[in-house]
Amino acid sequence: MKINFILNGREIELTAPSDVRVVDLLREELELTGTKESCGSGECGSCTILVDGQSRLSCLMLAAQLQGREVTTIEGLADDAGRHPVQEAFVQAGAVQCGFCTPGMVLAAVDLLDRRPDPSRSEIREGLSGNLCRCTGYQKIVDAVEMAVHREEG
Amino acid sequence: MREVFLPRTLDELWDLLRRRPEAVIYAGGTDVLVKLRAGLIAASSLICLERIEDLQGVRDQGDEVYIGAATTHRTLLADPVIQEHFPILIQALSVLGSPPVRNMGTIGGNVVTASPAGDTLPPLYVLDAEVEVRWSDGAKRLPLSQFILGPGKTSLGPGQLLAGVWLRKSADYNVHHFEKVGQRKALAIAVVSLAALLKVSDSGRIDQVRLAWGSVGPTVMRSGEVESALEGRVISRETLDQAAALAQTAVSPIDDIRASGAYRRTVAGNLLLRLINYAR
């Protein structure tokens, strides 16, 4: 089927089987491999993308559902001025170990800060609770989101 | 390839169901698409309900509130009517799955999945929720407890759709309490959960009580016996201990990968002890 949607700020039209998973469409067809897949069943958050600004799991969405939506993947977060403040904070805080969970963590944090611009540390942990880090580097990830809050304030 | 349909109106849906009676229906996809990928269900075509306006949102109808079946948990959590009248549902929704699962999953999906561990179900049982079932030329309302027949089983017939959930506003209860015990805080499937609505008098007496447990039987379980043991009594450790002992015999849990039946039985009782927090 023909699908029209906005991907990382650009209108695109493509033809794809309507039942292909969004994570596969992004990675295999569109070569946007920043979106990761780990569990494939909604438990890990690796495949998080933003759909109309809300974090969603691209392993549990089918291509047909993208019609008319606005999608942001990790590749679309930076702009001409540079990295998104959350990305910058992850770099500054050293919140990356193996990096596999990072795209999902960053997008979950962007969604959280959009809803709650000044979260407490426990609200940050709750906001990221759908994203697993198998390196267990959670402290620095939470540090990074806290840093992004203050960066955006400053 | 399986065709995926996104009808925009109920009329389009009825038309599709006539042409594709075997199609599998989903909304958020957090249950159905997982089972599909695991090969637990088969589908030659899929119908996604997310674009049907009629199935979306919360409608305040005076004495009652109607929740469209395809309303996401996130939308419900942010809804002022739900926050004001049904705090017990808010408590359960806030520990359901994880943020992205709440952004996708829907109340109708949680009901139709009919898992004994479904987090919205114990609150919906104590709130005496009714469900609205529709089909191409008819509709009916029935109590949720009659709609859910067993694990994964509902009374939905071919061509029928769970269209929404009805909740009656009530000022009868001044305590709304939900607690879930799982293996971790987020993304936990309930090992045992308890929903409790209480009317506690100024002197600490329980004037009215409604209890429902999740994950301790084939469906959400209620116990008139335990409720009677609490009604009219002042909240105290002794009263709660007696009720807990009764609850442990009233439930019928099984052993599974998450916990043993014996552990569930113990916890089902012990969760009542938390009500001590509402003693005056």
Instruction: Render B90-142 in DSSP notation, one character per residue.
Output: HHHHTTSS-HHHHHH-BHHHHHHHT-TT-TTHHHHHHTT-EEEEEETTEEEEE
Q: Give the model's confidence band at B123: pLDDT under 50 very low, under 70 low, under 90 confident, else very high.
A: very high
Nearest Cα of chain A lies from the Cα of B100 at a distance, in angstroms, of 5
Q: Are residues B130 and B181 in the same domain?
A: no
CATH number for position B245: 3.30.390.50
Percent of chain B with pLDDT over 90: 95
Nearest Cα of chain A lies from the Cα of B24 at a distance, in angstroms, of 13
pLDDT tens for residues B146-161? 999 999 999 999 999 9
Domain that holds residue B127: 3-168
Q: Is A127 on the interface with B (CB under 8 A)?
A: yes
User: Last residue of some domain: B168, B185, B203?
Assistant: B168
Q: How far is CA B42 from the centre of its chain?
A: 25
Q: Is B1 on the interface with A (CB under 8 A)?
A: yes
Q: How distant, in Å, are the alpha carbons of A13, B133, B203 from that of B142? A: 44, 8, 37
Inter-chain CB pairs, A–B, below 8 Å: 80
Selected residue of A44, A62, A66, A101 to mutate for chain B interface (largest B Cβ count, 10 A): A62
Q: Are residues B149 and B199 in the same domain?
A: no
Q: Give the model's confidence band at B185: pLDDT under 50 very low, under 70 low, under 90 confident, else very high.
A: confident
Tokens of B129: 């929720």
User: Last residue of some domain: B168, B193, B212?
Assistant: B168
- Span of A36-45, B90-99, B133-142, B182-191 with lowest mean pLDDT: B182-191
pLDDT in tens, chain A (154 residues): 999 999 999 999 999 999 999 999 999 999 999 999 999 999 999 999 999 999 999 999 999 999 999 999 999 999 988 999 999 999 999 999 999 999 999 999 999 999 999 999 999 999 999 999 999 999 999 999 999 998 766 5
Nearest Cα of chain A lies from the Cα of B270 at a distance, in angstroms, of 26
Q: Are residues B76 and B126 in the same domain?
A: yes
Q: What is the pLDDT of residue B221?
A: 97
Structural domains counted in chain B: 2
> Coil, helix or strand for B156?
coil
Q: Among partner residues A64, A112, A130, which is closest to B101 by beta-carbon distance? A: A130
pLDDT tens for residues B8-46? 999 999 999 999 999 999 999 999 999 999 999 999 999
What kind of fold does domain A85-153 have according to CATH?
Answer: DNA polymerase; domain 1 (1.10.150)
CATH number for position B64: 3.30.465.10
B123 and B88 Cβ atoms separated by less than 8 Å? yes
String of DSSP letters for chain A: -EEEEEETTEEEEEE--TTSBHHHIIIIIS--TTS--SSSSSSS-TTEEEETTEEEEGGG-BGGGGTT-EEE-GGGS-BTTBS-HHHHHHHHHT--SS-SSHHHHHHHHHHHHHH-SS--HHHHHHHTTT---TT--HHHHHHHHHHHHHHHH-
Q: What is the strand order of the sheet B130-135 is part of? A: B58-60, B64-68, B161-168, B130-135, B138-143
Domain ranges of chain A: 2-76, 85-153
Nearest Cα of chain B lies from the Cα of A129 at a distance, in angstroms, of 6
pLDDT tens for residues B83-99? 999 999 999 999 999 99
User: Last residue of some domain: B146, B168, B190?
Assistant: B168
Q: Are residues B198 and B159 in the same domain?
A: no
Superfamily of domain A2-76: Beta-grasp domain (3.10.20.30)
Selected residue of A54, A58, A60 to mutate for chain B interface (largest B Cβ count, 10 A): A60
Q: Are residues B162 and B223 in the same domain?
A: no
**Of A115, A105, A107, A91, nearest to A138 (Cα)?**
A105
Percent of chain B with pLDDT over 70: 100
Q: Are residues B234 and B150 in the same domain?
A: no
Count other C-beta atoms under 10 Å from residue B256's C-beta: 13
Q: What is the pLDDT of residue B257?
A: 86
DSSP tag of B235: P
Q: Are residues B104 and B135 in the same domain?
A: yes
Per-residue pLDDT at B179 exceeds 70: yes
